[in-house]
Amino acid sequence: MSRNRDLLSKIGLRLDGRRPDELRRIRCKLGVFTEPDGSAYLEQGLTKVLAAVYGPHQVRGGRSKAQHDTAIINCQFSMAVFSTTDRKKRPRGDRKSTELSMHLQQALEAVIKSELYPWSQIDVYVEVLHADGGIYTACVNAATLALIDAGIPLKEYVCACTASLANNDVPMIDISHQEEIIGGPTLTVAALPMSGKIVLMEMSQRFHMDHLEKVLNKALQGCKDIRQILDEAVRLHVRDIGSSTGWANTS
Amino acid sequence: MFTTKVFIKKTRIGNFLKNVREHYIRDDIFCGVPSCDKCTPVESFLSSIHKNECSSYDFNHYLILDTNVILDQMDVLDEDVIGNVIILHTVLKEVKHRSLPIYKRLHSIIENPSRHFYVFTNDHHKDTYIKQNDGELVNDYNDRSIRKSCLWYMDHLPKEKFIFLSDDVNNRNIALEEGILACSIREYVSHLVNGAALEDKLSRKDYHIDSNTKDVFPPHLTNVELLNGIKEGALYQGTFRASRDNFLEGFVNVESLDDPVIVQGRTGLNRAVDGDFVVVNLFNKEDWISPSEIVLEDDGVAEENIDEVEKKERQLKKSAHKKKGEIKPTGRVVGIIRRKWRQYCGILQGGMDGVYQLFIPADKSIPKIRIETRQAEFLRTQKLIVTIDSWPRHSRYPHGHFVRALGKIGDQNTENEVVLLEHDVPHSQFSEEVLSCLPKLPWIITEEDEQKRVDLRHIDICSVDPPGCTDIDDALHCRPIGEGRLEVGVHIADVSHFIRPGTALDLEAASRATTVYLVNKRIDMVPDLLSSNLCSLRGGEERFAFSCVWEMDENANILNTRFHKSIIRSRSAMTYEEAQMTIDDKTKTDSIAESLRSLNKLAKILKKGRLEKGALVLASPEVKIQMDSETMEPLDVEVKKLFETNSMVEEFMLLANISVAQKILEDFPECAMLRRHPTPPTSNFDPLVKAGRHLGFDIKIESGKQLAKSLDDAVKPDNPYMNTMLRILATRCMLQAVYFASGSLQKDEYFHYGLAVPLYTHFTSPIRRYADIIVHRLLAVTCGSDCTYPDLLDKQKTGNLCQNLNYRNRMAQYAGRASVAFNTHLFFKGKLQDEDGYILYVRKNALQILIPKYGLECTLFLAHKGETSNIFEYNEEDQTQKAGDVVLHSFDPVKVRLSLNSDNIQHEKFVLQLVSPCISGFSVPPLSEIEKMEVVDDKKRKSANDGHKKKNKKRS
């Protein structure tokens, strides 16, 4: 039944009233916790994510893991039990969480200048408070902000965005949970928007090769848009902190 | 802006889930009115030139419609008079939710620029979005949203006028209070300038039941009661099928029960119409009955009069009997979940005055419909289309309204139109957009084409088709290549070269799915330029083809198969008869004759091999109608002649199809379009086995092979036609062959029962079948001459496409048969003939007679309806009718007199009278004798004729 529902109405609006190339509303805040070295809160539509970064610090739990030339990046993904419509049984440690942790680590390793911190470790914890599609992308974006808040040197922003095909023809970005269920293959891309490098790409289903290029381009465009938003948030945050210490007045 | 929608939904298991969804509110949605200078102009079909003229308002205005207007009055909206309509998104969503067919129709209107419709997305607009209040019903909320949008429009464009049409009295009154100009559609249409014809089309939906009139039907249960009943298992739901012979009987196919549930009588059927999804209540087991065997027709003339129905009900009850073994679950309809009402073709019943008229649908399973019209006199001569609006409890007949007239009754064109409409065949002219996809003439073969294709112009290829065929899609060749090997090629018109995926032409062809052949008309799947010129493999012209070439040895074993696109030049386009003559004429030794001969030889070997594997040879009485080319009247009806060459061409087409099926399945295991013929359930064969047993043959049905063998063995030397009749019976036991996407079924279900091959597809007729075009595209990909496109590899889409193809094919087949039947009737009009026939079935009060010469199957009544004959004795066990010392068995040859009864212009039918064997008091003397008598005794003949007429009347 849901197959028959159009993801994109004939007037060109999606089910929630967005146009195909519009992101959901992104709201974010840096430095939400005091205990961790860096933290961030990010809302992408109704998807809400908290991220916290500890480190760089000494490698914990077995010295053998430590590397002489680089820092270990340790990611942990978890979903609050109340984040979905059905109460989740395990917040972390299940197959999906483990997979997402690994993917997150892969994306972050690509941007952190980890060679600056040999023999050390950086911990990134992300917690999904409310899941409404695009969990992974929200996590990557929140983790980026938390890393920036922690002052860890990054090569550039890493942003993630999803894209899909509406009615098997029109590419659309930032897929909500409802759109995920109704169908259509979802392409998740984590990219370095400034250099245009792709650090992770994943597809939930197959679609025809012909579509790949346009869907990918849309997703990359989405990443760039997200970077813009994150960048603004970071600048605002830095200005706020700066003004409290007084250096903003000098400039 | 941003807001959230929260709603609580019940899941299938019964849990309650809270759903939260985002809802974005935008400021970039515009009003679409051309005279507006506040909004950014958007693409909108609203026009400042179009004028809605209604005498109750003395100014030009735009219309805003309520949902109920669209749902009920779609036929009015279809008319060009009404334009400049603003459809609110709230309304659109509600329409879509309530009725998909209406939504589709509305959508096609919206897309038509000349109708000036505009969709305003009010629920995402910053000024017209309103929040649903706590405890507010969805309906009230929608009404409020609609009114809010009306007010916004009025406020936004004070210079323009907007009129809100609604049939909901409450909504209308509130709107009027709020200062919105509102009126009902009925009021609006009746004051519309040049809208007189529209009034007939208004739907007569009565929302308010007049409590004074007597109820004809018991009330339906409420939805909640129905759902609870189904859940508790007390009630059953299923599709209602009306009986064609008895208007007071029908069946409900319930999934959870093995047998369909019988429903009888007015209260039993309770306003169910054929196709509706209904809920039935089963009676206790002791009240169960077997299906009635009598034929009842609705002779009702007036609305109020139900005495006549009650009489018939009694008659039905009397005839109801409880035959052992045939008792079926019986019940009554207590509610209707979903109506499947569509538009019906038919005529008006004569003899009624006033604006209320009764309409008789051509489809006998549909009840008569009461309509209101002011042009009854004119409509009586016409075939018309009518749709049902409602069926209130107090009304004997459903209420409907007139949609449009098709043309004069009995006119060839009208009848063709009726056949096409009744079978849902898309038959409009090809649109400009479609025609623009065609290649420009003169069409030439470029060098690029030559490089891409294998040049086979030097090979002697020829085509063999029926006479008069202009869409030649297959050609053949065969030549020796040494070492006792032969190269055999089947060349199929390369239609997919011209029809590129995704173009308007492609979409149109996909929707038509097949070319439909009526007796005097062909409804092409692709425009004429392609079907009878560029794609048609005409003799002597260079054409593109898709070739399937085998290397075979003398015994027709395939050594090697290859597929490629090619350029061919057919040496000659022959008919079956010409080809046959060429083969038989020993003096001809040119390469064409030689290749035909070897093809013929190979075909025989192939056929033998196929039959040994268990392929069925089935028969169906097919006829060809000779038409007068000028008057377009049927001249003669004859059974199609078959030559050896027919079977030769068929054999190679089958072989090509099988080879292609294997190839595409290999490369596209998920999305290959194949054709399967399911094995029929054993119960289907009951009539065949029974008939065989009476004749002393044991028909084995365990497998196709055994069936084929036992059919071959069932031969009686004294009745050579009997075997053909058995095969006709066997054909009727079969299921339909269908297209499917390979990924949607298990491998063992791919089997084609009739042909006894594990894999089959359609490849050889791309000009007239869309399935073949898809197969061509798939095959073109496998041999590297074309690339894929997304939809081709989408299992789901292929599946949907297959469904459409299957539906259209079935309908095309029915349409073809209906057309033949109509023309046969036309041919027999006013004729009286004695013909040889065979008894196909023996029934309680009738014999089913097959007349092979005309491929006709008619009923010979032994007694009047509802009576048992005093001449004949029916033996149920042996399936015989006995009269005196004459015993009539199934398959017995008889002689019958054939005439056409035209009392009922919609359902003309043949009337048969027995000529021989002679049974005194029943049979009639042969025509030749009557002619002799005519001279002697004119009087006698007259009285006989009168008797004949009387009989007819009773039967009508």
ipTM of predicted assembly, 2 dp: 0.88
Give the distance from residue A223's alpha carbon to the nearest chain B alpha carbon, in angstroms.
Answer: 21
Between positions 20 and 59 of A, the ones with CB within 8 A of B are: 24-25, 45-46
When comparing pLDDT for B1 and B224, which is higher? B224
Check whether B273 has a pLDDT greater than 70.
Answer: yes
> Given CB atoms, is A84 within the 8 Å cutoff of chain B?
no
Rounded average pLDDT over B291-314: 65
Across the interface, of B4, B21, B107, the residue whose CB is closest to A178 is B21
Residue B537 contacts residue B493 (beta carbons within 8 Å): yes
Q: Do B29-199 and B831-955 share a fold?
A: no
Cross-chain Cβ contact A132/B22 below 8 Å: yes
Rg (C-alpha) for chain A, rounded Å, is 19
Tens digits of residue pLDDT in B510-543: 989 899 988 888 888 988 888 888 888 888 888 8
Confidence tier at A138 by pLDDT (50, 70, 90): very high
In terms of CA atoms, which chain A residue is nearest residue B5?
Answer: A16
Contact: B790, A168; criterion CB under 8 Å: yes
Q: What is the mean pLDDT of residues A139-165?
A: 94
pLDDT of B332 above 90: no
Q: How confident is the model at residue A109 (pLDDT cuts 50, 70, 90)?
A: very high
Out of B533-547, B668-682, B821-835, which region has the weakest mean confidence (pLDDT)?
B821-835
Quick: pLDDT tens for B833-890: 788 888 877 777 777 888 877 777 777 777 665 555 667 777 777 777 777 777 777 7
B589 close to B595: Cβ distance less than 8 angstroms: no
Residue B322 banded pLDDT, cuts 50, 70, 90: low
Which stretches does DSSP call E strand in B295-398? Answer: 330-338, 343-348, 356-361, 369-372, 382-390
Spell out which residues of chain B touch residue A178, defining contact as CB-CB under 8 Å.
21
Which candidate in A208, A211, A213, A215 is best for mutational testing of the B interface (most B CBs within 10 A)?
A208
The larger pLDDT score, comparing residue A160 to residue B784, is at A160
Range B485-493 average pLDDT: 91
| Distance of alpha carbon B467 from alpha carbon B718, whole angstroms | 35
| B803 near A CB under 8 A | no
Spelled out in words, what is the top-level CATH class assigned to the domain B831-955?
mainly beta
The structural domain count of chain A equals 1
Helix (H, G, I), strand (E, B) or coil at A129: strand
Asked if A11 has any chain B CB less than 8 Å from its own CB, the reply is yes
Model confidence band, residue B158 (pLDDT cutoffs 50, 70, 90): confident
Contacts of B107 in chain A (CB under 8 A): 10
Q: Once rounded to an integer, what is the mean pLDDT over residues B353-365?
A: 80
| Nearby residues of A140 by Cβ (< 8 Å), 6 or more positions away | A104, A107, A108, A158, A159, A160, A190
In this prediction, residue B521 carries a pLDDT of 83
Q: Specify the pLDDT at position B935.
A: 55
Q: A219 to chain B nearest CA, in Å?
A: 19
Highest mean pLDDT among B104-113, B769-778, B940-949: B769-778
pLDDT score recorded for residue B207: 46
Quick one: pLDDT at residue B775? 92
Shortest distance, CA A16 to any CA of chain B (angstroms):
5
CATH number of B29-199: 3.40.50.1010
Any idea where the domains of chain B sit in the sequence?
Answer: 29-199, 223-338, 343-422, 432-665+765-811, 673-761, 831-955
- For residue A148, pLDDT beyond 90: yes
Range scoring the smallest mean pLDDT among A139-143, B410-414, B739-743: B410-414
Query: What is the C-alpha separation between B614 and B612, in angstroms, rounded?
Result: 5
C-beta atoms surrounding B127 within 10 Å:
15
Structure tokens at B355: 């604006």
Whether residues A46 and B4 touch (CB distance < 8 A) is answered with yes
Give the burial class of B11: count Cβ atoms within 10 A of its Cβ; 0-12 exposed, 13-18 middle, 19 or more buried: exposed
Per-residue model confidence (pLDDT) at position B950: 40
Residues of A whose CB is below 8 A from B31: none
Could you give the percent of chain B with pLDDT greater than 70?
A: 87
pLDDT (mean) for A125-137: 93
Cβ pair A17:B25 closer than 8 A? yes
Q: Which of B24, B121, B790 sits opposite A16 (nearest CB)?
A: B24
Note the pLDDT of residue A112.
94
- Report residue B644's pLDDT band, with 50, 70 and 90 as the boundaries: confident
Does residue B623 have a pLDDT over 50? Answer: yes
Structure tokens of A90?
């395990």
* CATH number at B223-338: 2.40.50.690
More confident residue, B337 or B324: B337
Residue B789 touches partner A, C-beta closer than 8 Å:
yes
Within 8 A of A85 by CB-CB distance, chain B residues are 17-19
Contact flag B20-A46 (C-beta cutoff 8 Å):
yes
Interface test with B, best of A1, A210, A212, A215 (most B CBs within 10 A): A210
| Chain A, chain B: beta-carbon pairs less than 8 Å apart | 55
Query: What is the spatial distance between Cα B533 and Cα B472, in angstroms, rounded to a whole number?
Result: 9
**CATH entry, B343-422, from 2.40.50.700, 1.10.8.60, 1.20.5.440, 1.20.1250.20:** 2.40.50.700
Confidence (pLDDT) at B51: 77
Tokens linked to B944: 């006989």
Domain that holds residue A217: 2-250
For residue B485, pLDDT over 80 is answered with yes
pLDDT value of position B942: 47
A103 close contact with B: CB closer than 8 A: no
Q: Categorize the per-residue pLDDT at B428 as very low, low, confident or very high, splitting at 50, 70 and 90.
A: confident
Interface membership of B119 toward A (CB under 8 Å): yes
pLDDT tens for B176-202 read 898 888 888 888 888 877 666 677 777
| Residue whose tokens read 């009027």 | B176
| Confidence (pLDDT) at B540 | 86
Residues contacting residue A234 through CB under 8 Å, at least 6 positions apart? A30, A145, A148
Of B107, B793, B797, nearest to A10 by CB-CB distance is B107
CB contact under 8 Å between A46 and B17, yes or no, is: no
Using a CB-CB cut-off of 8 Å, the residues of chain B touching A45 are 22
Q: What CATH number does the domain containing A109 carry?
A: 3.30.230.70
Q: Which DSSP string corresponds to A19-46?
A: -TTPPPPEEEEE---SSSSEEEEEEETT
In whole numbers, what is the pLDDT of chain B averaged over residues? Answer: 81
Q: Name the band, by pLDDT with cuts 50, 70 and 90, for residue B373.
A: confident
Contact check, Cβ <8 Å, A132/B20: yes
CA distance A152 to A155: 10
Q: Which residues of B touch A176 (CB under 8 A)?
A: 21-22
Residue B270 is predicted with a pLDDT of 85
pLDDT-based confidence at residue B930 (cuts at 50, 70, 90) = low
pLDDT at B27: 82
Phi/psi at B902 (5° precision): -110, 20
